[in-house]
Amino acid sequence: MLPESSDVVVVGAGNAAMCAALAAREQGAGVIVLERAPEDESGGNTRFTAGAIRFAYNGVADLRELMPDLIDEEIARTDFGAYTENQFFDDMARVTENRADPDLVELLVRRSRQTMMWLRGKGFRFVPIYGRQAFKVDGRFRFWGGLTVEAWGGGPGLVEAHKKAADANGIRIFYGARAMSLLHGDDGVHGLNVRYQGKSRTLRCKAVVLAAGGFESNPEWRTRYLGPGWDLAKVRGTRFNTGDGIRMALDAGAAPCGNWSGCHAVGWDRNAPEFGDLAVGDGFQKHSYPFGIMLNANGERFVDEGADFRNYTYAKYGAVILRQPGQFAWQIFDKKVTHLLRDEYRIRQVTKVTANTLEELVEKLDDVNPAKALETIRAYNASIRTGIAFDPNIKDGRCTEGLAVPKSNWANVLDTPPYEAYAVSCGITFTFGGLRITTDAQVLDTDGTAMPGLYAAGELIGGLFYFNYPGGTGLMSGAVFGRIAGSSAGRAAKAG
Ligand SMILES: Cc1cc2nc3c(=O)[nH]c(=O)nc-3n(C[C@H](O)[C@H](O)[C@H](O)COP(=O)(O)OP(=O)(O)OC[C@H]3O[C@@H](n4cnc5c(N)ncnc54)[C@H](O)[C@@H]3O)c2cc1C
C-alpha cells in the first residue's frame, strides 16, 4: 500500500534518485521512492549503463582507497595515471564550450571523489575499466581519457547495490508508481498526485526530490526542443524518461535552464529497437570509430573520427550521424585494429558485413554509393602520415593530410583484410535541458526564488552539459547532486 504521507518523496529510482534517498535518510527523514517502471524494468537509464564513472583522483593511492581489492601485481602492470580536479574542470569547460554553470561544475568536480567514497561506505564496489579505457601495449595497461573506474556489475550491478542500500536503510521503493503533478501553494511544494496500480492518489510530504530523468524517450518533446529529425532517433535506454519531472516542476512555476536544444547521442546499431533492451544493455553502441573511418550514404566521410579520445567525441557524434542522409553511417575497420574493437562489436545483435577486398566491401554497404565509397577510402589511404607511430593509448597525432575532412589521430591505411563494417544510426542517451537549481539542489522558480520543498538531481537538471559531455559524467552528476538534493530535502523536512 502506498502511504498517505512521508517526510521526503523521491521521484525516480535511477542513480540520482537513490543517492538522494540515501542522503535524505542520513538526515533522519522518512523517505519513499516512486518508480514509474515496473520492477523488472526499474532503475532508469542507470541500469543500461556500463557503470563507468568519472571522478578526480591524484594517483593510484586514491584509487586503492576506493578499491582496496587492487593488488600489487595489478598495480605493477598498470599505469593508472591521475585525473586531477584541474583536468576535470578543463574537460567540462572544453567540451561544453565554456557554457557549463561554474557553480554546478565546482560541486561536480570537487565533490566527485568524496561522493565515490561515500558510496563505498554504503557498500558500493568499484573496479578498473580494463579493455574499454586502457589498452595493453608492450605488456602494460595505460588508462586514458579520465575514465578509470566502473561500478561492480555495471549498470545492473549499480542498481542492485542501490536496492540493497535502500533496503538496509529502511527506504521503500514503490514500482509502477508514476508521479503526475506536484501539490503546491504559496508555501511551496507539499505533496504529489500519483498514479499507482491504476488509481490516482494523493501523497503528502514535506519535500520532494525530482530525479525522473530527461525527455529523451518522448518523441514529441524531442522534436519540439531538439529539432526536426530527432523524432527519428533511437532511444538507448529506458522508455520511461518522458520529461514528467521537468513538466511537473515547470507547471508549478520552476525555471527552465540549460541547453534545451542539446542532448547526449551516440552511434548506435542501425537495426536496434526503438528503446533500449535490458538484455543487450549498452551493447548497441559502437564506440571504436577512432580506429577506423565512417562513411555516409553518399560514400563520404563527414567527421574527424580521431579528433580526440572517444570519451570526448562520442556523445556529440550521434547528432552528426542523425544529420547524414538516411540518418545512418557505416564504420569501417581492417584487420590491423579489429583486436582493439570494444566488446560491443562482438554481440550477436550486430549489423555487420565483412569482405576480403575493398571493392567487395563497398558493394556490401547497404544504401551507400559504392563507387564514391571506394574513391573516399583510396583518397583516405593515400593521405595518411604513416611515418608517425600508431598508439591507441595516447593521442598519437598519426593524421591525414590534405583531406577536406581530416582525421587527426589513429589514422591507419585500410589495407589488411578481412575488412569489417558496422552500420550505425543515432541513439539518444539523455537530454541536456532541465530545471534551474541552487547549489543546495533546490529548484528555482522563474523569478529566481528557491521553491520551498522542491529539489532536483540527475538528468533533469539543466546548466551542466552543453553540446557535448565527457564520458562517465552522468553517473557522477547524479551521485553528487542526488546526494546534495537528498541532504537538503532531508534537512528541510526535519526542520519543517
Ligand atoms: C545505454 C546507456 C549507457 C550509458 N552509459 C553510461 C556510463 O557508462 N556512465 C555514465 O556516467 N553514464 C552513462 N549513461 C548515462 C546515464 O545513464 C545517466 O546519465 C544517468 O543514469 C542518469 O541518472 P538519473 O538518475 O538522472 O536518471 P535515470 O537513471 O534514467 O532514472 C530516472 C528514473 O525516473 C523514473 N521516472 C520517470 N518518470 C517518472 C515518474 N513520472 N514518476 C516516477 N518515476 C519516474 C524512471 O523510471 C527512472 O527510474 C548511459 C546511458 C545509457 C542509456
pLDDT of residue 133: 82
Question: Which residue's CA lies nearest to atom 14 of ligand 1?
Answer: 49
Name the average pLDDT for the chain: 97
Ligand 1 pocket check for 237: Cβ under 6 Å: yes
At residue 235, the pLDDT reads: 98
Cβ neighbours of residue 481 closer than 8 Å, sequence gap 6 or more: 16, 104, 107, 108, 437, 441, 456, 457, 458, 461
Q: pLDDT at position 432, please?
A: 98
Which atom of ligand 1 has the smallest separation from the CA of 50? 8
| Ligand 1 proximity of 48 Cβ (cutoff 6 Å) | yes
C-alpha cell at 139: 605488456
Give 140's contacts (C-beta < 8 A, 6+ positions apart): 77, 78, 79
Of 125-139, 162-176, 324-338, 359-373, least confident by mean pLDDT is 125-139
Cα(429) to ligand 1 centroid in Å equals 9
The pairing of strands 434-435 and 256-257 is antiparallel
Atom of ligand 1 at shortest range from CA of 476: 11
pLDDT digits over 86-100, tens only? Answer: 999 999 999 999 999
Quick: pLDDT tens for 388-420: 999 998 999 999 999 999 999 999 999 999 999
Q: Is any atom of ligand 1 closer than 6 Å to the C-beta of 481?
A: no
What cell numbers appear for 267 in the block? 552511434
Measured from the Cα of 46, ligand 1's closest atom is 21
- Confidence grade of residue 175 (pLDDT, cut at 50, 70, 90): very high
Q: Among 240, 244, 274, 344, which residue has the most ligand 1 atoms within 8 Å of its CB, making it the best to mutate?
A: 240
H/E element holding 318? helix 314-322
Q: Has residue 145 got a pLDDT over 90?
A: no
Q: Whose CA is nearest to atom 50 of ligand 1?
A: 49
Q: Is the pLDDT of residue 421 over 80?
A: yes
Percent of the chain clearing pLDDT 90 (strictly above) = 96
DSSP 294: E
Residue listed under C-alpha cell 542539446: 262
* Atom of ligand 1 lying closest to residue 458 CA: 26
**What integer is the mean pLDDT of 169-192?**
97
At residue 88, the pLDDT reads 98
Between 145 and 456, name the one with better pLDDT.
456
Q: What's the pLDDT tens digit per position in 442-472? A: 999 999 999 999 999 999 999 999 999 999 9
CA-CA-CA-CA torsion for 470, 120, 441, 209, nearest 10 degrees? Answer: 110
**pLDDT of amino acid 135:** 83
Residue 13: predicted pLDDT: 98
Each residue's pLDDT tens digit, 285-338: 999 999 999 999 999 999 999 999 999 999 999 999 999 999 999 999 999 999
Asked whether the CA dihedral 122, 123, 124, 125 is positive or negative, the reply is: positive
From CA 181, how far away is CA 183, in angstroms rounded?
7
Q: What is the pLDDT of residues 16-68, one digit of tens each?
A: 999 999 999 999 999 999 999 999 999 999 999 999 999 999 999 999 999 99
Q: 137 falls in which pLDDT band (50, 70, 90)?
A: confident
Residue 144 is predicted with a pLDDT of: 86
Q: For 342-347, which contacts have Cβ atoms below 8 Å and span 24 or more sequence positions?
A: 342/131, 342/132, 342/286, 342/287, 342/288, 343/131, 343/132, 343/283, 344/282, 344/283, 344/284, 344/285, 344/286, 344/287, 345/286, 345/288, 345/420, 345/422, 347/280, 347/283, 347/284
